[in-house]
Structure 1
Amino acid sequence: MRVKIWILLLLGTMLSCSVSQNEISEKDKLFKTLQSLKGKGVLFGHQDTYAYGYTWNDVEGQSDVKRVTGDYPAVFGWELGGIEEGKLANLDTVSFDNIRKYAIKAYGQGGINTFSWHPFSVIDGVDSWNTETRVVDKIIPGGDYHEAFKKDLDALADFLNSVITVEGVKVPFIFRPWHEMDGSWFWWGSDSCSPKELKELFRFTVQYLREEKAVNQMLVAYSPDRNFSTREEYLSWYPGDEYIDLIGMDNYYDLYTNGLLDEAIKKLHIIIDYANEKGKISAFTETGYENIPDSTWYTSKLGVVLSDSIVAANISYALVWRNDPLKHFFFPFPGHPSAKYAKEFTDREDILLLEDFKQIKNMD
């Protein structure tokens, strides 16, 4: 009997190790794929591209990017704010069941998923943009709401670990928590916590998800906003190399304000230099122009930034924000004046949509 029990325990251990190695393999595969893109092109990404768009909502196979370009984006962004409260849909009204379905579909089609998280405060339930209550110092280790915050992370981890293919593969992804911390608009931002507190929150979040909740299929992104001009300023909120896989930046302002394109490029150079020095991925993690009032924006602004020789040779992807049919859009729809310029931009050989990305992977 003892021999049988020992054999069963051994088999269980071997199975567990096999699953763990598979998860690590998927994450490492994603990292290597992104690194291998250097000099081959910049992946184009779009938030919520399957979920909704101009005049439509949750239509199978639909995407405003595909309607304009003939192909899907290569990077698919999804938002998880609200999962921590047990809601059925995120703060942008996309159901979590659909987000799971969309992320699995994107992975199956050969794309890359990235998750952002704008959580509601565990203290008073207000959204991420409410800065009236200081939150971070109360949810980090030693804070009065730390145990409650761990339950938020439990709910987040349960969802992330439920994004599994029919073959049983936990879908790898890029996780981008606590972004734009150098701005003042979030309760984890520059007016609501210190860099020391934010670093502690960031470290705990990553450690807890990886070590306690076995979320081993994720790459982690660090993405301040545009409020820096030196490496030292950029790293003011940086939790440490051991916690970060991808070095990025969110930047809207520099790309719609006249005369600031060079500033955007210089900031990406800072990011690229640090990423290359540390052997990490670099990316333009979030950008766009709300409702695209400048019809040439994709060619005259984003296209110019991504044409810089250093940027083009190093950045793995650039993602624009979502097309909410009731609120705003950041990628044009058919008939919009900017559609032809967006098509011209995505037709460039160095801008990679999904099929372009798959062709490059097949050649490697």
Structure 2
Amino acid sequence: MNKLIWTLLMIGLIVSCKAPQNEISEKQKLFDILQSVKGKGILFGHQDTYAYGYTWKDVEGNSDVKRVTGDYPAVFGWELGGIEKGVKANLDTVSFVNIRKYALKAFAQGGVNTFSWHPFSATKRVDSWNTTERVVDKIIPGGAYHEAFKKDLDALADYLNSIVTEDGVKIPFIFRPWHEMDGTWFWWGRTSCTPQELKDLFQFTVKYLREDKGVDQMLVAYSPDRNFNTIEDYLTWYPGDEYVDVIGMDNYYDLYTKGLVDEAIKKLHVIIKYANEKGKISALTETGYENIPDSTWYINKLGVVLSDSIVAANISYTLVWRNDPLKHFFFPYPGQPSAKYAKELLDRDGIWLLNDLVEFNKQNK
């Protein structure tokens, strides 16, 4: 054999041996973490926890969860509503520059990021809560505003793909589109579109982001509100297993209305069973009690739900909503009457904050 050819073959062999074999993607790592914590600890999350809190905004290192418990949440929620309009800040006045910074920080610290999206419509740019016109049938494939909607997804994808570490890693996250579709308050809700139109919207959104725009670092959550009792009800708007990684439920009402805690638990059992059958993550994707008028809510409502034996053994995380200094709060601040009860819940072995997750990952490398 020609000496030059032999040399080139050997170099190629050496390079191929040194190349990473079956390298695990960041998305898969995130999925594996969420699966591996099942039965050990439920990750606790808080929306916008770095961005603002009671009487403060954008203070480096601050978080109302940390102020009360001494640790950050394990799951960090962020909102992307407004990115489709090309504005500098989201609908909650948090700049997209800061959201990128916060999400990178959470990832570097070992936390889990999840993004919600309350978009302004591609038709008349009405906000998500404006249900005066039908939007979904106009933005799905074949609709008059489909191309305009694709431009909104382009802006969303460009932003998500810009959340990159200094080493060039696109950070993984959970994306929770078209949530609470069984309610009536969003333009993609049950009174504003048909179940099939919602499925078409969900499927197109995920396929376009992943396949056309290269957003391959996301897990996708399906999260209706509480308006179901059976798996058939729950799956009314379900786009299909190939589009969903997290089987979730948003539920506020059952957790603050007298006598309905057992209903919340039963509904979680429904989604847990399906998630386990399909090899997916299950989660209480959004909950809370606005301004926490019941000071014991964290132990007597949320705590009861999370301590149910089936729930505790199966769901991977839960997330409470945000602490807007001008509007409302869903996690207590120091001195607020429910703070001691929230701390009591989050001190439990089976409810994990950031340090618990980091330590678990260290031990399971």
Aligned-pair identity in percent equals 78
Instruction: Name the SS of the counterpart of 1:98 in structure 2.
Output: helix
Q: In structure 2, what residue type is equivalent to 1:170?
A: K
**Are 2:83 and 1:75 aligned?**
no
Instruction: Name the SS of the counterpart of 2:25 in structure 1.
Output: helix
Instruction: Name the SS of the counterpart of 1:282 in structure 2.
Output: strand
Q: List alignment gaps of at least 5 residues for structure 1.
A: 1-10
How big is the shift at 1:63? 0.1
**Are 2:56 and 1:56 aligned?**
yes
How big is the shift at 1:44? 0.2
How big is the shift at 1:197? 0.2
CA distances 1:115-159 after superposition (whole Å, capped 9, x unpaired) = 000000111011000000100000000000000000000000000
Partner of 2:331: 331
**Residues in 2 aligned to 1:53 and 1:109: alpha-carbon distance in whole angstroms:** 20
**Residues in 2 aligned to 1:39 and 1:204: alpha-carbon distance in whole angstroms:** 34
CA distances 1:186-227 after superposition (whole Å, capped 9, x unpaired) = 000000000000000000000000000000000000000000
Partner of 1:287: 287
**Are 2:254 and 1:254 aligned?**
yes
**Residues in 1 aligned to 2:25 and 2:50: alpha-carbon distance in whole angstroms:** 27
Partner of 1:200: 200
- TM (normalized to structure 2)? 0.94
**Residues in 2 aligned to 1:201 and 1:336: alpha-carbon distance in whole angstroms:** 42
**Residues in 2 aligned to 1:36 and 1:109: alpha-carbon distance in whole angstroms:** 18
Find runs of 4+ consecutive structure 1 residues off by over 2 angstroms: none
Q: How does 1:1-364 map to 2 (within 5 A)?
A: 25-364=25-364
Q: In structure 1, what residue type is equivalent to 2:149?
A: F
Q: In structure 2, what residue type is equivalent to 1:355?
A: N
Q: In structure 2, what residue type is equivalent to 1:310?
A: I
How big is the shift at 1:362? 1.2
Instruction: Name the SS of the counterpart of 1:153 in structure 2.
Output: helix
Q: In structure 1, what residue type is equivalent to 2:351?
A: I
**Residues in 2 aligned to 1:190 and 1:76: alpha-carbon distance in whole angstroms:** 28
Q: In structure 1, what residue type is equivalent to 2:320?
A: V
Q: In structure 2, what residue type is equivalent to 1:281?
A: I
**Residues in 2 aligned to 1:318 and 1:31: alpha-carbon distance in whole angstroms:** 15
Aligned residues: 349
Q: In structure 1, what residue type is equivalent to 2:324?
A: D
**Residues in 2 aligned to 1:177 and 1:162: alpha-carbon distance in whole angstroms:** 19
CA distances 1:231-280 after superposition (whole Å, capped 9, x unpaired) = 00000000000000000000000000000000000000000000000000
- TM (normalized to structure 1)? 0.94
Q: In structure 1, what residue type is equivalent to 2:274?
A: Y
Root-mean-square deviation (Å): 1.6
How big is the shift at 1:363? 1.4
Q: Rg bigger for which structure? A: 2
Q: In structure 2, what residue type is equivalent to 1:81?
A: G
**Residues in 2 aligned to 1:339 and 1:283: alpha-carbon distance in whole angstroms:** 24
**Residues in 2 aligned to 1:259 and 1:209: alpha-carbon distance in whole angstroms:** 41
Instruction: Name the SS of the counterpart of 1:99 in structure 2.
Output: helix
**Residues in 2 aligned to 1:200 and 1:284: alpha-carbon distance in whole angstroms:** 24
